[in-house]
Amino acid sequence: MSFNITFTGETAEDDDLVAVGEITLGEDWERFHAPVHYWSARDYEKNWRTALKRLVDGEEVSCLITSMFEAKYSNFITTWPLYRIGDQVYVHNQIVFRDELDQPYDEAKPWLSVGPRETVSDDGRPISEWIVSLDDVRKFLEGHGETP
């Protein structure tokens, strides 16, 4: 499968309240650490299903969260902005700093804080980007009990 996001069942070596996850984007994959003291693993999984279903339902922008903290304890959130263009989904990895947002961060609608897709950084360097098919996103949802 060219798209997948899941928890591995492992925890971080130094913290049992950090679940290890993995995201697969085409031929590439990355592991991530998701703190589970504010959001549970089920909260993350719900975000992932909701975010992906938005794309399959026709929305052009969405967002996966892989690291959520309570606002009073941390100023940042690790996200994977998703941009649907036709039958392709362009995926970025981004750290969102709450104090740099124009409006309060909405945990239930994180896509509201996703800016337009950019391919070049402010200093002129290419921004890392992965491309997966919308069909692979649809197959992921179907494999996780969602009817797109």
pLDDT, one tens digit per residue, over 22-40 is: 999 999 999 999 999 999 9
| CATH architecture, domain defined by 3-143 | 2-Layer Sandwich (3.30)
Residue 26's pLDDT is what?
Answer: 95
What percent of the chain is modeled with pLDDT above 90?
Answer: 73
**DSSP H or E stretch at residue 108:** none
Looking at the whole model, is its pTM more than 0.75?
Answer: yes
What confidence tens digit (pLDDT) does each residue in 53-78 have?
Answer: 999 999 999 999 999 988 777 788 89
User: Looking at this protein, which amino acid is placed at residue 81?
Assistant: P
